[in-house]
Amino acid sequence: MNTTTPLVIVTGACGGIGAAVTQHLLTEGYAVLACDTQEQILSNTQHPTEKCEYYPLDVTDETCVQHLGDYLRQRRQPVQGLINCAGIVHAAPLLETTLEQWRTVHAVNADGVFLVTREVAQYMIEQQPQDPTNSRGIVTISSNAANVPRAEFGAYGASKAAATRVTTSFGLQLAPHGIRANVLCPGTTRTPMVTDSWNGEDRSQTPIKGSLENYRLGIPLGRIAEPEDIAEVATFLLSPRAKHVTMQSLTVDGGATF
Protein backbone atom coordinates (compact mmCIF):
# COMPACT_ATOMS: atom_id res chain seq x y z
CA MET A 1 0.00 0.00 0.00
CA ASN A 2 1.20 3.52 -0.80
CA THR A 3 1.94 5.02 2.63
CA THR A 4 1.59 8.61 1.41
CA THR A 5 -2.09 8.30 0.45
CA PRO A 6 -4.46 9.43 3.25
CA LEU A 7 -5.60 6.35 5.16
CA VAL A 8 -9.09 5.55 6.42
CA ILE A 9 -9.61 2.80 8.97
CA VAL A 10 -12.86 0.85 8.46
CA THR A 11 -14.08 -1.65 11.05
CA GLY A 12 -16.48 -4.39 10.03
CA ALA A 13 -15.03 -3.99 6.55
CA CYS A 14 -16.06 -7.46 5.39
CA GLY A 15 -19.75 -6.99 6.22
CA GLY A 16 -22.48 -5.56 4.01
CA ILE A 17 -22.25 -1.84 4.78
CA GLY A 18 -18.58 -2.08 5.73
CA ALA A 19 -17.70 -3.71 2.41
CA ALA A 20 -19.65 -1.05 0.49
CA VAL A 21 -17.96 1.72 2.48
CA THR A 22 -14.55 0.21 1.77
CA GLN A 23 -15.26 0.00 -1.95
CA HIS A 24 -16.61 3.55 -2.10
CA LEU A 25 -13.60 4.96 -0.25
CA LEU A 26 -11.26 3.21 -2.69
CA THR A 27 -13.23 4.67 -5.60
CA GLU A 28 -12.82 8.12 -4.03
CA GLY A 29 -9.05 7.66 -3.94
CA TYR A 30 -8.48 6.87 -0.27
CA ALA A 31 -6.29 4.08 1.04
CA VAL A 32 -8.20 1.77 3.37
CA LEU A 33 -7.12 -0.35 6.31
CA ALA A 34 -9.99 -2.83 6.27
CA CYS A 35 -10.43 -4.27 9.75
CA ASP A 36 -12.52 -7.31 10.60
CA THR A 37 -12.26 -10.67 12.35
CA GLN A 38 -9.50 -13.01 11.23
CA GLU A 39 -11.81 -15.70 9.85
CA GLN A 40 -13.64 -13.28 7.57
CA ILE A 41 -10.44 -11.66 6.37
CA LEU A 42 -8.92 -14.96 5.32
CA SER A 43 -11.93 -15.81 3.18
CA ASN A 44 -12.65 -12.36 1.79
CA THR A 45 -10.87 -11.07 -1.33
CA GLN A 46 -13.47 -8.66 -2.68
CA HIS A 47 -11.15 -5.62 -2.56
CA PRO A 48 -7.81 -6.75 -4.00
CA THR A 49 -6.00 -3.47 -4.63
CA GLU A 50 -2.73 -1.81 -3.76
CA LYS A 51 -4.71 0.77 -1.75
CA CYS A 52 -6.50 -1.74 0.48
CA GLU A 53 -4.97 -3.81 3.25
CA TYR A 54 -6.75 -6.13 5.66
CA TYR A 55 -6.02 -6.04 9.37
CA PRO A 56 -7.43 -8.67 11.78
CA LEU A 57 -9.29 -6.84 14.53
CA ASP A 58 -11.65 -7.83 17.33
CA VAL A 59 -13.21 -4.51 18.31
CA THR A 60 -14.28 -5.91 21.69
CA ASP A 61 -10.71 -6.73 22.76
CA GLU A 62 -8.92 -3.72 24.22
CA THR A 63 -5.46 -5.26 23.78
CA CYS A 64 -6.19 -6.06 20.14
CA VAL A 65 -7.36 -2.50 19.55
CA GLN A 66 -4.22 -1.14 21.22
CA HIS A 67 -2.17 -3.26 18.82
CA LEU A 68 -3.98 -1.49 15.98
CA GLY A 69 -2.71 1.80 17.38
CA ASP A 70 0.83 0.39 17.54
CA TYR A 71 0.52 -0.74 13.93
CA LEU A 72 -0.59 2.72 12.80
CA ARG A 73 2.36 4.30 14.58
CA GLN A 74 4.74 1.93 12.81
CA ARG A 75 3.25 2.85 9.42
CA ARG A 76 3.36 6.62 9.98
CA GLN A 77 0.80 7.05 7.22
CA PRO A 78 -1.40 10.16 7.41
CA VAL A 79 -4.80 9.12 8.76
CA GLN A 80 -7.81 10.82 7.24
CA GLY A 81 -10.22 9.18 9.63
CA LEU A 82 -12.23 6.23 10.86
CA ILE A 83 -15.55 4.68 9.92
CA ASN A 84 -17.00 2.38 12.58
CA CYS A 85 -19.04 -0.23 10.69
CA ALA A 86 -18.55 -3.27 12.94
CA GLY A 87 -21.85 -4.38 14.40
CA ILE A 88 -24.09 -7.33 15.22
CA VAL A 89 -27.83 -7.62 15.52
CA HIS A 90 -29.99 -9.17 18.24
CA ALA A 91 -33.69 -9.59 17.54
CA ALA A 92 -35.79 -10.56 20.53
CA PRO A 93 -38.13 -8.87 23.02
CA LEU A 94 -36.30 -7.55 26.06
CA LEU A 95 -38.30 -9.89 28.30
CA GLU A 96 -36.70 -12.78 26.42
CA THR A 97 -33.18 -11.35 26.26
CA THR A 98 -30.52 -12.85 28.52
CA LEU A 99 -27.85 -10.79 30.22
CA GLU A 100 -25.22 -12.60 28.13
CA GLN A 101 -27.01 -11.61 24.92
CA TRP A 102 -27.31 -8.03 26.15
CA ARG A 103 -23.62 -7.85 26.96
CA THR A 104 -22.57 -9.44 23.67
CA VAL A 105 -24.45 -6.97 21.48
CA HIS A 106 -23.21 -4.03 23.56
CA ALA A 107 -19.63 -5.31 23.46
CA VAL A 108 -19.53 -5.06 19.67
CA ASN A 109 -21.89 -2.18 18.93
CA ALA A 110 -21.02 0.17 21.81
CA ASP A 111 -17.78 -0.90 23.49
CA GLY A 112 -16.15 -1.49 20.10
CA VAL A 113 -16.97 2.04 18.94
CA PHE A 114 -15.55 3.47 22.16
CA LEU A 115 -12.33 1.42 22.06
CA VAL A 116 -11.51 1.91 18.37
CA THR A 117 -12.47 5.59 18.28
CA ARG A 118 -10.40 6.33 21.37
CA GLU A 119 -7.34 4.54 19.94
CA VAL A 120 -7.52 6.00 16.44
CA ALA A 121 -8.35 9.51 17.68
CA GLN A 122 -5.36 9.50 20.02
CA TYR A 123 -3.10 8.62 17.10
CA MET A 124 -4.68 11.27 14.86
CA ILE A 125 -3.96 13.89 17.53
CA GLU A 126 -0.37 12.66 17.81
CA GLN A 127 0.00 13.04 14.05
CA GLN A 128 -1.56 16.49 13.90
CA PRO A 129 -2.57 18.16 17.20
CA GLN A 130 -4.55 20.87 15.43
CA ASP A 131 -6.11 21.16 11.99
CA PRO A 132 -7.80 24.49 11.21
CA THR A 133 -9.26 23.00 8.01
CA ASN A 134 -11.26 20.38 9.97
CA SER A 135 -10.52 17.94 7.16
CA ARG A 136 -10.34 14.76 9.24
CA GLY A 137 -13.40 12.82 10.29
CA ILE A 138 -14.84 9.94 12.27
CA VAL A 139 -18.16 8.33 11.32
CA THR A 140 -20.09 5.71 13.26
CA ILE A 141 -22.70 3.57 11.54
CA SER A 142 -25.46 3.42 14.13
CA SER A 143 -29.14 2.64 13.37
CA ASN A 144 -32.53 4.30 13.29
CA ALA A 145 -33.34 1.80 16.06
CA ALA A 146 -31.22 4.05 18.29
CA ASN A 147 -33.82 6.80 17.89
CA VAL A 148 -37.13 5.02 18.48
CA PRO A 149 -38.35 2.10 20.64
CA ARG A 150 -38.43 -1.26 18.85
CA ALA A 151 -40.59 -4.17 20.00
CA GLU A 152 -37.99 -6.82 19.13
CA PHE A 153 -34.77 -4.81 18.95
CA GLY A 154 -34.52 -3.36 22.46
CA ALA A 155 -30.99 -4.55 23.21
CA TYR A 156 -29.79 -3.71 19.71
CA GLY A 157 -31.36 -0.24 19.79
CA ALA A 158 -29.87 0.47 23.22
CA SER A 159 -26.41 -0.55 22.02
CA LYS A 160 -26.71 1.68 18.96
CA ALA A 161 -27.97 4.57 21.10
CA ALA A 162 -24.84 4.19 23.22
CA ALA A 163 -22.70 4.17 20.06
CA THR A 164 -24.43 7.34 18.89
CA ARG A 165 -23.88 9.23 22.12
CA VAL A 166 -20.27 8.17 22.64
CA THR A 167 -19.45 9.26 19.08
CA THR A 168 -20.98 12.71 19.45
CA SER A 169 -19.27 13.09 22.83
CA PHE A 170 -15.97 12.26 21.15
CA GLY A 171 -16.86 14.95 18.64
CA LEU A 172 -17.08 17.56 21.37
CA GLN A 173 -13.68 16.59 22.76
CA LEU A 174 -12.02 16.31 19.35
CA ALA A 175 -13.33 19.58 17.89
CA PRO A 176 -10.38 21.66 19.20
CA HIS A 177 -8.08 19.29 17.28
CA GLY A 178 -9.99 19.84 14.04
CA ILE A 179 -11.38 16.28 14.00
CA ARG A 180 -15.08 15.90 13.31
CA ALA A 181 -17.23 13.01 14.62
CA ASN A 182 -20.66 12.21 13.20
CA VAL A 183 -23.19 9.39 13.22
CA LEU A 184 -25.12 7.82 10.40
CA CYS A 185 -28.33 5.95 11.28
CA PRO A 186 -29.50 3.60 8.51
CA GLY A 187 -32.83 1.85 8.43
CA THR A 188 -33.41 -1.59 6.93
CA THR A 189 -30.57 -2.25 4.49
CA ARG A 190 -30.04 -5.19 2.16
CA THR A 191 -27.12 -6.78 4.02
CA PRO A 192 -26.52 -10.31 5.32
CA MET A 193 -27.39 -9.05 8.80
CA VAL A 194 -30.93 -8.52 7.46
CA THR A 195 -31.32 -11.05 4.65
CA ASP A 196 -29.91 -14.05 6.54
CA SER A 197 -33.18 -14.18 8.48
CA TRP A 198 -35.26 -14.24 5.25
CA ASN A 199 -34.49 -17.92 4.56
CA GLY A 200 -33.72 -17.30 0.89
CA GLU A 201 -36.89 -15.27 0.24
CA ASP A 202 -37.17 -11.58 -0.61
CA ARG A 203 -39.01 -10.19 2.39
CA SER A 204 -38.18 -6.56 1.75
CA GLN A 205 -41.87 -5.68 1.49
CA THR A 206 -42.30 -6.36 5.21
CA PRO A 207 -40.30 -3.34 6.44
CA ILE A 208 -41.58 -1.28 3.49
CA LYS A 209 -45.20 -1.87 4.57
CA GLY A 210 -44.45 -1.52 8.27
CA SER A 211 -46.26 -3.26 11.12
CA LEU A 212 -49.05 -1.71 13.19
CA GLU A 213 -48.85 -4.73 15.49
CA ASN A 214 -45.24 -3.85 16.34
CA TYR A 215 -45.80 -0.08 16.27
CA ARG A 216 -43.42 0.22 13.36
CA LEU A 217 -43.86 2.66 10.47
CA GLY A 218 -43.25 1.65 6.87
CA ILE A 219 -40.82 3.24 4.45
CA PRO A 220 -42.37 6.17 2.53
CA LEU A 221 -39.80 5.99 -0.29
CA GLY A 222 -40.97 2.45 -1.01
CA ARG A 223 -37.66 0.56 -0.89
CA ILE A 224 -35.11 -0.68 1.58
CA ALA A 225 -31.62 0.75 1.36
CA GLU A 226 -28.77 -0.81 -0.55
CA PRO A 227 -25.37 -0.79 1.21
CA GLU A 228 -24.09 1.66 -1.41
CA ASP A 229 -26.74 4.19 -0.33
CA ILE A 230 -25.23 4.25 3.14
CA ALA A 231 -21.64 4.22 1.87
CA GLU A 232 -22.26 7.38 -0.17
CA VAL A 233 -23.37 9.33 2.90
CA ALA A 234 -20.67 7.89 5.17
CA THR A 235 -17.94 8.91 2.71
CA PHE A 236 -19.37 12.42 2.49
CA LEU A 237 -19.43 12.81 6.29
CA LEU A 238 -15.83 11.61 6.51
CA SER A 239 -14.61 13.89 3.74
CA PRO A 240 -13.52 17.55 3.89
CA ARG A 241 -16.75 18.35 2.01
CA ALA A 242 -18.43 18.07 5.43
CA LYS A 243 -15.79 20.20 7.16
CA HIS A 244 -18.38 22.20 9.13
CA VAL A 245 -20.44 19.19 10.24
CA THR A 246 -19.71 17.56 13.57
CA MET A 247 -21.57 15.94 16.51
CA GLN A 248 -24.56 15.27 14.23
CA SER A 249 -26.70 12.18 13.80
CA LEU A 250 -28.08 11.76 10.29
CA THR A 251 -30.89 9.26 9.69
CA VAL A 252 -30.87 7.56 6.28
CA ASP A 253 -33.89 5.25 6.24
CA GLY A 254 -36.20 6.38 3.43
CA GLY A 255 -38.41 8.23 5.90
CA ALA A 256 -39.14 5.24 8.13
CA THR A 257 -38.58 7.37 11.24
CA PHE A 258 -39.34 11.07 11.53
Quick one: pLDDT at residue 46?
61
Compute φ and ψ for 8, nearest 5 degrees. Answer: -120, 130
Q: What pLDDT, on the 0 to 100 scale, is given for residue 201?
A: 84
| Confidence at residue 142, expressed as pLDDT on a 0 to 100 scale | 98
pLDDT of residue 242: 98
| Sequence-ordered list of residues with C-beta below 8 angstroms from that of 143, at least 6 positions apart, any chain | 87, 156, 157, 160, 185, 186, 187
245 by Cβ neighbours in 10 Å (0-12 / 13-18 / 19+) ranks as middle
Q: How many CB atoms are located within 10 Å of the residue 91 CB?
A: 13
Confidence (pTM): 0.94
Write down the catalytic residue from 30, 54, 123, 156: 156
pLDDT at position 129: 97
In the sheet that holds 179-186, the strands lie side by side as 52-56, 31-36, 7-11, 79-84, 136-141, 179-186, 249-252
Helix boundaries (H) for the chain: 16-27, 38-43, 62-75, 99-106, 112-127, 154-174, 192-195, 205-209, 227-238
User: Regarding the domain with residue range 7-252, which homologous superfamily does it belong to in the CATH classification?
Assistant: NAD(P)-binding Rossmann-like Domain (3.40.50.720)
Euclidean distance between CA atoms 244 and 250, whole angstroms: 14
- The ranges of the chain with pLDDT < 50 are none
Task: Look up 30 and say whether it is catalytic.
Answer: no
Amino acid 48: pLDDT? 57
Report pLDDT for 16. Answer: 92
Domain ranges of the chain: 7-252
Of 85, 41, 36, 109, nearest to 184 by C-alpha is 85
pLDDT of residue 228: 97
Please give the Cα distance from 179 to 113 (Å, whole number). Answer: 16
